[in-house]
Chains A and B, each alone.
Chain A
Amino acid sequence: MDYAWLAPVLCAGAFLLNVLFSRQRGGRRSLFGGFFAVGAILGCCLVFLSVFSDALANLAPFGGGESHGATTPASKNGSAAHLLFDKVPWFTVGDYKLWLTMSVDWLSIMMLGVVSFLASLIQIYGLGYMMGDNRFWWFFSVMSLFCAAMFTLVLAYDFLFLYMAWELVGLCSFLLIGFWHEERDNAEAAKKAFITTRIGDVGFFIGLAVLFLNTGTFRMDEIFAEIERGRVDPTIVTVAGILVFMGAVGKSGQVPLHVWLPDAMAGPTPVSALVHSATMVAAGVFLVARAYPLFAASDVTMAVIATVGTITAIFAATIALTQREIKKILAYSTVSQLGYMIAALGVGAYTAGIFHLFTHAFFKALLFLCAGSMIHAMEGVYGHHDKRANDIFNMGGLRKRMPITFWTFLIAALSLAGIPPLAGFWSKDEILVGAAETGNWLVLGVLLVTAFLTAFYMFRAIYVAFFGADRWRIVAATTTSSHEIQPADVHEAFPKTGDAHAGHGAHDGPRESPWLMALPLVLIAIPAIAAGWLNIPGVYAPFGEAIHFGDAHHATGINWPLAIAGTLAGLLGIGLATITYWRPLIDPSAIASQAPPAYNALLNKYYVDEAYQWIIDRIVLGLAGLAATFDRKVINDNVIDRPSSWTVAAGDKLRYLETGRVYHYAFAFIVGIGMIGVVMAAFPNVQFSFW
């Protein structure tokens, strides 16, 4: 347990090794990048296993109870935290010495496990997916750095250290989203992700500053203790809470800062899988969980969190209904599910929110990897980096051709739809129960509707992409590439070198992906089925015993009405999707044409991007133009240039004093001394000082 810090160090080491030794465009040396990264992350899995087994024996699982060794009870924050180190000096500002602190508690152990498990499988998958890419080594370098940052983030025990890791996570996702930055869209998406999350981070940082001003420390336990003892003004607690929550809003793609998440699809698919499951977006929810005592101390903050989460859940789910690109559908699904988690944390269902983060990480990573597998197969038809390969309506009939992808996708989708006994059911049900128990009926209702919508759009994707006719035959023959390259020319235009790309071509249609990509799918499918069984209320719930806030939530049993309602919502969604897209009893385009404004609003994502663009164009750029004009006309012309022109004019006159005749200078010199003498004689009592 004391060696948990090895996890970030291993990954950071892999990053350094990559940067030093595997820099090469293409070629064999570039491949080392993958081996270093995968080796490091597999090492992290071992670290996790040893930490986990040690924690089972030594880390108090029950709230603030018996603890061994140098553990400190982290106030009401569920389990005890085991300090790894807290006296590593970082820097000194004024009188304040900042120490790096790291700790392990059950929350961070859970995150360690999820991140190391998913990241290692995703990176193995990435070996296959990225094979043949020119910057293979760079992909794995940043992946390693990404994991290192995430591990640091979950282990950090003071907010400033956490913030540093937080920003590092943001930087890495920027680098990965813009991985193919040769294409302008991708670079724009990376920039958007970076700037949008930065807006939230400003709030986060101000919140930290407010907390520091009022408590004099960045240490989490000390800050929470101060708040618990009521030493901090409740208003300030609320303000700081909302500001810190802004950081989570940005990172976890909550409304209104969700716009970057769907665009983050521009990165390679393994990146999307990692960003959307265990790392980037999980960081926001993790922060809410980490700083929970701060939020829980104020009802207003909690209400804000619950509201934002609930709105996000339904908002993103409705957008996902009309999207055509497989990764966009999954992206909005992620936004929606993050809304679920945030809403759960907001209504006080702490365990449920974290549990959903846990289960969601698995099935969402699986969904993205499946999507990557599908796109990879479709690129065999349409050509590399062709936008048409992402559109589910350009797929069709993939079930027979890609059985592994189909079955794993189906498992993950059922899990996401909340069908028992898959993982998603248990966590979603927990959230619904949490909302009901705290009397948030509106939240409960909205979340139930969201569950229905979730099931519907997931099965829409399945029916369209995996069933039906081989639409890709027609599409590939009748449309031209988004790159203006005829499909037939693709193989000449993009000579493929790696194993993964060899063997599937335009003529024999999409094929199952190589085992390097298929194996991770199967392995992740296992927790996507079973992860939920760790917290079955009343039966077997070690998860809830380990991670909770306040007293452990001892449910006596399954809340049957809600479990049935949640399952029914999911089944209804699936059923509706079935009769719409499989046996077309309902024509979706007819519904769409009946209410064009509503349909267009959904198709255009409620025009949020357009609204932001309008605000930037009209208001931000307008104000910037005003400021620029003010700067140019007032500051520059009148404050800077005018006095300087006086100086120039004065100099122009005064330069004639420089006659070049020595005795003129001598005369001025003597007159000056004479004047000083006169002044000194006139004021005999004044002490003159010339130096």
Chain B
Amino acid sequence: MVPTEHVLVFSAILFCIGMYGVMARRNGVLVLMAIELMLNAVAVNLVAFSNRIDPQGGSGIIFAIFVITIAAAELGLGLAIVLRVYRMRGSVNVDEADLMRW
């Protein structure tokens, strides 16, 4: 049985990697992947707590499945946007898509 703390540390590391990816990457596709990492870190967290607080029930696991489902949908949408940006600008660099500023 892996202790909960280990799982949480793993989840935290995963989240930080995702966060780094969101902030550091310029490629739109990579940013989306980083967001996916962060979502998965949250899902892991949910499963870990579910296991610890209520080992018999599976509500946290169900929740995680929902997160994965919605993440998939969101990724589909995000990729579609990236695709449109690429069609319009010939690049997926998020720095260049900065029309909504001062």
Give A contacts to B, CB under 8 Å: 655-656, 658-663, 666-667, 670
Known: A661-B94, A661-B95, A661-B98. 12 other contacts (CB 8 A): A658-B102, A660-B97, A660-B100, A660-B101, A661-B101, A662-B94, A663-B22, A663-B23, A663-B94, A666-B19, A666-B22, A666-B23
Q: Assess whether B101 is in contact with A659, with CB atoms less than 8 Å apart.
A: yes
Binary per-residue interface labels of chain B (64-84) against chain A in the complex, 1 for a CB within 8 Å, 0 otherwise: 000000000000000000000
11 contacting pairs across A/B (C-beta < 8 A): A655-B102, A658-B102, A659-B98, A660-B98, A661-B98, A662-B31, A663-B22, A663-B24, A663-B94, A667-B23, A670-B19
> Is B88's beta carbon under 8 Å from chain A?
no
Question: Which 4 interchain pairs have the tightest Cβ spacing?
Answer: A660-B101, A660-B98, A655-B102, A663-B23
Compute how far the CA of A666 lies from the CA of B102 in the bound complex, rounded to whole angstroms. 17
Q: Assess whether A660 is in contact with B23, with CB atoms less than 8 Å apart.
A: no
**CB-defined contacts of B100 to chain A, threshold 8 Å:** 658, 660
Binary per-residue interface labels of chain B (11-55) against chain A in the complex, 1 for a CB within 8 Å, 0 otherwise: 000000001001110000001000000000000000000000000
Compute how far the CA of A661 lies from the CA of B19 in the bound complex, rounded to whole angstroms. 15
**CB-defined contacts of A670 to chain B, threshold 8 Å:** 19, 23
> Is B99's beta carbon under 8 Å from chain A?
yes
Give B contacts to A, CB under 8 Å: 19, 22-24, 31, 94-95, 97-102
**CB-defined contacts of B95 to chain A, threshold 8 Å:** 661
Q: Assess whether A660 is in contact with B99, with CB atoms less than 8 Å apart.
A: yes
Compute how far the CA of A666 lies from the CA of B15 in the bound complex, rounded to whole angstroms. 14
Compute how far the CA of A670 lies from the CA of B23 in the bound complex, rounded to whole angstroms. 10
Compute how far the CA of A661 lies from the CA of B31 in the bound complex, rounded to whole angstroms. 12
**CB-defined contacts of B23 to chain A, threshold 8 Å:** 663, 666-667, 670
**CB-defined contacts of B22 to chain A, threshold 8 Å:** 663, 666
Q: Assess whether A658 is in contact with B101, with CB atoms less than 8 Å apart.
A: yes
**CB-defined contacts of B94 to chain A, threshold 8 Å:** 661-663
Looking across the interface, which residue of chain A has its beta carbon closest to that of B98? Answer: A660
**CB-defined contacts of A662 to chain B, threshold 8 Å:** 31, 94
**CB-defined contacts of B101 to chain A, threshold 8 Å:** 658-661
Instruction: For the complex formed, measure the closest distance between the CB of B96 and the CB atoms of chain A, giving whole angstroms.
Output: 10
**CB-defined contacts of A663 to chain B, threshold 8 Å:** 22-24, 31, 94
Instruction: For the complex formed, measure the closest distance between the CB of A394 and the CB atoms of chain B, giving whole angstroms.
Output: 80
Compute how far the CA of A663 lies from the CA of B95 in the bound complex, rounded to whole angstroms. 9
Compute how far the CA of A659 lies from the CA of B98 in the bound complex, rounded to whole angstroms. 7
Looking across the interface, which residue of chain A has its beta carbon closest to that of B22? Answer: A666
**CB-defined contacts of A660 to chain B, threshold 8 Å:** 97-101
Compute how far the CA of A390 lies from the CA of B97 in the bound complex, rounded to whole angstroms. 85
**CB-defined contacts of B24 to chain A, threshold 8 Å:** 663
Instruction: For the complex formed, measure the closest distance between the CB of A584 and the CB atoms of chain B, giving whole angstroms.
Output: 94
Chain A CB within 10 Å — which of B24, B31, B101 has the most?
B101
Instruction: For the complex formed, measure the closest distance between the CB of B14 and the CB atoms of chain A, giving whole angstroms.
Output: 15
Compute how far the CA of A650 lies from the CA of B16 in the bound complex, rounded to whole angstroms. 34
Instruction: For the complex formed, measure the closest distance between the CB of B32 and the CB atoms of chain A, giving whole angstroms.
Output: 11
Compute how far the CA of A655 lies from the CA of B101 in the bound complex, rounded to whole angstroms. 8
Compute how far the CA of A658 lies from the CA of B102 in the bound complex, rounded to whole angstroms. 6
Compute how far the CA of A658 lies from the CA of B97 in the bound complex, rounded to whole angstroms. 13
Instruction: For the complex formed, measure the closest distance between the CB of A677 and the CB atoms of chain B, giving whole angstroms.
Output: 12
Compute how far the CA of A667 lies from the CA of B97 in the bound complex, rounded to whole angstroms. 17
Instruction: For the complex formed, measure the closest distance between the CB of A6 and the CB atoms of chain B, giving whole angstroms.
Output: 72
Compute how far the CA of A663 lies from the CA of B32 in the bound complex, rounded to whole angstroms. 12
Compute how far the CA of A658 lies from the CA of B98 in the bound complex, rounded to whole angstroms. 10
**CB-defined contacts of A658 to chain B, threshold 8 Å:** 100-102
Compute how far the CA of A656 lies from the CA of B102 in the bound complex, rounded to whole angstroms. 6
Instruction: For the complex formed, measure the closest distance between the CB of A669 and the CB atoms of chain B, giving whole angstroms.
Output: 10
Compute how far the CA of A243 lies from the CA of B19 in the bound complex, rounded to whole angstroms. 77
**CB-defined contacts of A661 to chain B, threshold 8 Å:** 94-95, 98, 101
Compute how far the CA of A659 lies from the CA of B100 in the bound complex, rounded to whole angstroms. 8
Compute how far the CA of A462 lies from the CA of B94 in the bound complex, rounded to whole angstroms. 101
Compute how far the CA of A670 lies from the CA of B34 in the bound complex, rounded to whole angstroms. 14
Compute how far the CA of A666 lies from the CA of B34 in the bound complex, rounded to whole angstroms. 12
Looking across the interface, which residue of chain A has its beta carbon closest to that of B24? Answer: A663
Chain A CB within 10 Å — which of B19, B24, B98 has the most?
B98
Instruction: For the complex formed, measure the closest distance between the CB of B27 and the CB atoms of chain A, giving whole angstroms.
Output: 12
Instruction: For the complex formed, measure the closest distance between the CB of A56 and the CB atoms of chain B, giving whole angstroms.
Output: 89
Compute how far the CA of A667 lies from the CA of B22 in the bound complex, rounded to whole angstroms. 9
Looking across the interface, which residue of chain A has its beta carbon closest to that of B23? Answer: A663
Compute how far the CA of A667 lies from the CA of B21 in the bound complex, rounded to whole angstroms. 11
Looking across the interface, which residue of chain B has its beta carbon closest to that of A657? Answer: B102
Looking across the interface, which residue of chain A has its beta carbon closest to that of B99? Answer: A660
Looking across the interface, which residue of chain A has its beta carbon closest to that of B19? Answer: A670
Compute how far the CA of A661 lies from the CA of B97 in the bound complex, rounded to whole angstroms. 8
**CB-defined contacts of A659 to chain B, threshold 8 Å:** 98, 101-102
Instruction: For the complex formed, measure the closest distance between the CB of A676 and the CB atoms of chain B, giving whole angstroms.
Output: 16
Instruction: For the complex formed, measure the closest distance between the CB of A649 and the CB atoms of chain B, giving whole angstroms.
Output: 15
Compute how far the CA of A661 lies from the CA of B95 in the bound complex, rounded to whole angstroms. 6
Instruction: For the complex formed, measure the closest distance between the CB of B84 and the CB atoms of chain A, giving whole angstroms.
Output: 15
Instruction: For the complex formed, measure the closest distance between the CB of A663 and the CB atoms of chain B, giving whole angstroms.
Output: 5
**CB-defined contacts of B19 to chain A, threshold 8 Å:** 666, 670
Compute how far the CA of A436 lies from the CA of B34 in the bound complex, rounded to whole angstroms. 107
Compute how far the CA of A661 lies from the CA of B99 in the bound complex, rounded to whole angstroms. 9
Compute how far the CA of A570 lies from the CA of B10 in the bound complex, rounded to whole angstroms. 117
Instruction: For the complex formed, measure the closest distance between the CB of A672 and the CB atoms of chain B, giving whole angstroms.
Output: 13
Compute how far the CA of A667 lies from the CA of B19 in the bound complex, rounded to whole angstroms. 9
**CB-defined contacts of A656 to chain B, threshold 8 Å:** 102
Instruction: For the complex formed, measure the closest distance between the CB of A59 and the CB atoms of chain B, giving whole angstroms.
Output: 84
Looking across the interface, which residue of chain A has its beta carbon closest to that of B100? Answer: A660
**CB-defined contacts of A666 to chain B, threshold 8 Å:** 19, 22-23
**CB-defined contacts of B102 to chain A, threshold 8 Å:** 655-656, 658-659
Compute how far the CA of A663 lies from the CA of B28 in the bound complex, rounded to whole angstroms. 11
Chain B CB within 10 Å — which of A658, A663, A670 has the most?
A663
Looking across the interface, which residue of chain A has its beta carbon closest to that of B26? Answer: A663
Compute how far the CA of A690 lies from the CA of B76 in the bound complex, rounded to whole angstroms. 32
Instruction: For the complex formed, measure the closest distance between the CB of B8 and the CB atoms of chain A, giving whole angstroms.
Output: 15
Instruction: For the complex formed, measure the closest distance between the CB of A21 and the CB atoms of chain B, giving whole angstroms.
Output: 63
Instruction: For the complex formed, measure the closest distance between the CB of B56 and the CB atoms of chain A, giving whole angstroms.
Output: 31
Instruction: For the complex formed, measure the closest distance between the CB of A325 and the CB atoms of chain B, giving whole angstroms.
Output: 74
Looking across the interface, which residue of chain A has its beta carbon closest to that of B94? Answer: A662
Compute how far the CA of A659 lies from the CA of B96 in the bound complex, rounded to whole angstroms. 11
Chain B CB within 10 Å — which of A655, A660, A670 has the most?
A660
**CB-defined contacts of A655 to chain B, threshold 8 Å:** 102
Instruction: For the complex formed, measure the closest distance between the CB of A184 and the CB atoms of chain B, giving whole angstroms.
Output: 57
Instruction: For the complex formed, measure the closest distance between the CB of A660 and the CB atoms of chain B, giving whole angstroms.
Output: 3
Compute how far the CA of A663 lies from the CA of B34 in the bound complex, rounded to whole angstroms. 12
Compute how far the CA of A659 lies from the CA of B97 in the bound complex, rounded to whole angstroms. 11
**CB-defined contacts of B99 to chain A, threshold 8 Å:** 660
Compute how far the CA of A181 lies from the CA of B97 in the bound complex, rounded to whole angstroms. 67
Compute how far the CA of A656 lies from the CA of B98 in the bound complex, rounded to whole angstroms. 13
Instruction: For the complex formed, measure the closest distance between the CB of B2 and the CB atoms of chain A, giving whole angstroms.
Output: 25
Compute how far the CA of A90 lies from the CA of B25 in the bound complex, rounded to whole angstroms. 72
Compute how far the CA of A663 lies from the CA of B18 in the bound complex, rounded to whole angstroms. 12
Looking across the interface, which residue of chain B has its beta carbon closest to that of A666? Answer: B22
Compute how far the CA of A670 lies from the CA of B16 in the bound complex, rounded to whole angstroms. 11
Instruction: For the complex formed, measure the closest distance between the CB of A653 and the CB atoms of chain B, giving whole angstroms.
Output: 11
Looking across the interface, which residue of chain B has its beta carbon closest to that of A655? Answer: B102
Chain A CB within 10 Å — which of B31, B97, B102 has the most?
B102
